[in-house]
Structure 1
Amino acid sequence: MEQVSLRPSSAKQEKTFVSVFHELCKKFEFGVAKYSLAAELPHSRTFLMNLTVDILGITVQGIGLTKMQAKHDAAYKMMFQIRETYQAGGTINTVPRVKLVNCCEWLEKLGTLKEDIPKPPTEPTLNPAEVLTEWRLTRHSTLPEYRVVRTSGPSHSKTYFMTCKLSERVTEGEGKSKQAAKNDAAEKMLQILEDEEL
């Protein structure tokens, strides 16, 4: 997912938009970034996340297939908004212009912001297992391991039970096909990871 990874600023592991924005808030004394879930659209499996920074007087809304993606999208949009305001010669609330200049120069050095806000990750083709794999790949982390642990029911109507293992975390999903069980286990793993990040 584009929202979740940055352009490489060094050979080190890439930072997320949330971690870069947190660092920005600390470095330039913008205060605490407040994230809140605005909406969950179950029919499209989409989450909307608000991000407010009181000192800036700005609230932006991120969108994603998971709460985590929506949070990263919101952080990116907030940084984008700061840069756009600075480039247009404007000011933000009571933040001195010199602080905006320093903030935008810092972002420029990191190579965090692209030319445009990325399109929200709402492709209907993505399933939870793909989302989890892509999310792990952006962090150069170990990929989840899936294993069928048991089946139940008659041969013409089996139910599959599959585990998803990621480091020390293990979830179990079930479904009428191996793919459905895999997606169920992946969705539960994504929920654990989202809860940890929020």
Structure 2
Amino acid sequence: SGLCSLGKMITAKPGKTPIQVLHEYGMKTKNIPVYECERSDVQIHVPTFTFRVTVGDITCTGEGTSKKLAKHRAAEAAINILKANASICFAVPDPLMPDPSKQPKNQLNPIGSLQELAIHHGWRLPEYTLSQEGGPAHKREYTTICRLESFMETGKGASKKQAKRNAAEKFLAKFSNISPDNHISLTNVVGHSLGCTWHSLRNSPGEKINLLKRSLLSIPNMDYIQLLSEIAKEQGFNVTYLDI
């Protein structure tokens, strides 16, 4: 029942961050999340923080360029595991899930709505990257790239915030063409490109994935690129390498 409560919290209260959702779940189940900073590298060019969160018997970590982002990602990972463990509860769409395309324009926060949509379906949270800024001082223009799973949209605006909102609006417009009542269809749009979920990987009978579970990752001369390629082929997901 606690896991089902988590599902209701996620779908019935849009705009909440993973940290807030996980805290409410902890309050209801009397398992208050505990965050610990595992690593803090602030001397390098881009600071990196790693936080561990423990809620009940689940422990997850998250990494980010700020403490808040690292905690945010740790909470998100814990939520996804809780959702996977309660797949029956999450199989039926919640009628309280808002349809962003039907909300009044002045009440719509596209950035928050897109994040809520991602949490509701168990996707990774949207990531925004400022890709370009230009124009004269009195008329600046910013370009932001938003990535959600394997999708990407570009937004532009006179401020960084407007550019983010524009990118989020494009995503919401893309998904609004699919009926909000059809949870399965919308999930498949993103799920098809991945071919699998954490839940299906963990319970897969596949030979390659089960060999990985039994093997050490420190075997000398292991071809990790080939190994990942074989697992991807077996499990039906794509591997993409990005120069960061």
Task: Name the TM tier (shorter chain).
Answer: 0.3 to 0.5
- Higher relative contact order (CA closer than 8 Å, sequence separation 6+): 1
TM-score normalized by the length of structure 2: 0.35
